[in-house]
Amino acid sequence: MFELVKSGGWLMVPILACSVIAMALVAERLWTLRRKYVIPPNLLQQVRQVLQHREISTDKVRLVSESSPLGRILAVGLANRDQGREVLKESIEETGRHVVHELGRYLNMLGTIAAITPLLGLLGTVIGMIKVFAAITSVGVGDPTVLAGGISEALITTAAGLTVGIPSLMFHRFFRARVTELTVNMEQASLHLVEFIQGQRETGPAIQEEFGNI
């Protein structure tokens, strides 16, 4: 393996560095963007029960806030429950923007790796071909071993760049879609909390059936 990397030339160093960073980012985002962590089951129903029984306290608001990203948003709603609808919505939206930003953390870096690693491989291909033509100019084409180094470098760096870039792009798109889905679900839960607090929506079984898993 080391010999293969060595044959790829110095451009294998940034490509390998990108692969390590990409694997770390993918593992971190897979753990962080778990649905049960971002949107714990029945969290909205628990918050509604707290409101119904008027068991709101600073400690309970803090516990809700620390439970999950959605909990941070709902806790703001609890803290501002006595404010007007517009103030309540604005406070929730502001916190929601921060939460969504955190959900998308590192995705730009992963997208950058997905974009640059194939280009690094292409650059290695160009450098390898330059070496091939330089060797042809010097010794001709009679000895294939003279040309093998440049051709090997060109192929190895291209393969390495694509090997890192393709999975990085796939995971980048997957995580973007996951963040969008989670954002929509958190928006729905926040809207129901606002309408429940303001008494503008019936709080019967229909909501519980529709959002029983939130």
pLDDT tier at 204, thresholds 50, 70, 90: very low
Q: Determine the Cα–Cα distance for residues 183 and 103; give it in Å rounded to an integer.
A: 9
Query: Measuring CA to CA, how many Å separate 189 from each of 41, 66, 131?
Result: 12, 17, 60
Q: Which of 31, 13, 15, 6 is nearest to 166 (CA)?
A: 15
Range of the domain at 164: 2-210
Q: Determine the Cα–Cα distance for residues 75 and 61; give it in Å rounded to an integer.
A: 5
Q: Which of 49, 48, 79, 85 is nearest to 65 (CA)?
A: 79
Our count of domains for the chain comes to 1
Identity of residue 5? V
Q: Determine the Cα–Cα distance for residues 79 and 83; give it in Å rounded to an integer.
A: 9
Question: pLDDT at position 45, please?
Answer: 87
Type and span of the H or E element at 171: helix 144-197
Question: pLDDT at position 161, please?
Answer: 93
Q: Determine the Cα–Cα distance for residues 66 and 165; give it in Å rounded to an integer.
A: 36
Q: What is the largest CA-CA distance in the chain?
A: 89
| 132-187 confidence digits (pLDDT tens) | 777 777 766 656 666 666 677 778 889 999 999 999 999 999 999 999 999 999 99
* CB environment 137-170: b (16+ within 10 A), e (fewer): eeeeeeeeebbeebbbbbbbbbbbbeebbebbbe
Residue 31 phi, psi dihedral angles, 5° rounding: -75, -45
| 28-59 confidence digits (pLDDT tens) | 999 999 999 999 988 888 888 888 877 677 88
- Is the model's pLDDT at 7 over the cut of 90? no
Kindly state the tokens that stand for 118: 């194939």
The three-state secondary structure class of 200 is coil
Question: pLDDT at position 57, please?
Answer: 79
